[in-house]
Amino acid sequence: MNYNFQFQAVFDAWPLLLQGTWTTIELSLTATVLGLAIAIVCAWVKTSGPQALRWVVNAYIELIRNTPFLVQLFFFFFALPAIGLRWSAHSAALVAMVVNLGAYATEIIRAGIEAVPRGQVEAGLALNLKRHQVFRHIILKPALKAIYPALTSQFILLMLSSAVVSAISADDLTSVAANLQSQTFRSFEIYIVVAGIYLLLAVLFSLLFRAIYQVALNYPDRR
């Protein structure tokens, strides 16, 4: 193979790559927080909520889990403006990521809730706690602790899947890479660097979630 590697064009564009990386981090972390909040509410509805709301949540989950993320992204960016709801590519990407994560994380959290021993729930009710209090103080933390590895894997997968948002020209890392490739034609070098950045982000996210587990979920066990 006679190929002349030229990384200089990639390194010269490091401010753009840094900006794209930051956009990817911002989208991923914001979607993680908002998606987790939606998932917790939906998981509570699925396990303890009114029947009518359960049908709504089930429909939402089935719709999202059985359609491609790219189609969902196009729906928010291209279809909704047809009925007057217009927003930027960044906002559409964020909403699509939140909605997508919420559906997948709901089922993970539901599994954790159902793994909590029924006796603990009955004990909370016997102490005259309301159902939302039982959910908050007795069920939620053990459930999150039980499914934390699966949940954090879903968060990291969301970060990696965020590369798809470049399809609507959101200024994430992959979009920046595509623009650089069209200007420099150094595809091999550009995507080696970008792949390395995504790998680094995945490792950093993993370390972050591990630290959160130690501080927020595992701390009482060490006392």
Whole-angstrom Cα distance, residue 108 to residue 144?
9
What are the pLDDT digits (tens) for 90-147? 999 999 999 999 999 999 999 988 888 777 777 776 776 777 677 777 777 888 888 8
* pLDDT at res. 1: 60
Rounded mean pLDDT, 155-181: 93
**pLDDT class of 216 with cuts at 50, 70, 90:** confident
| Single pTM value for the model | 0.88
Q: Where are the domains of the chain?
A: 8-222
Whole-angstrom Cα distance, residue 130 to residue 136?
10
Nearest to 194, CA basis, from 207, 205, 179: 179
Q: Which CATH superfamily is domain 8-222 in?
A: MetI-like (1.10.3720.10)
Nearest to 153, CA basis, from 210, 191, 100: 210
| Residues 35 and 101 sit within 8 Å (Cβ to Cβ) | yes
Whole-angstrom Cα distance, residue 45 to residue 135?
11
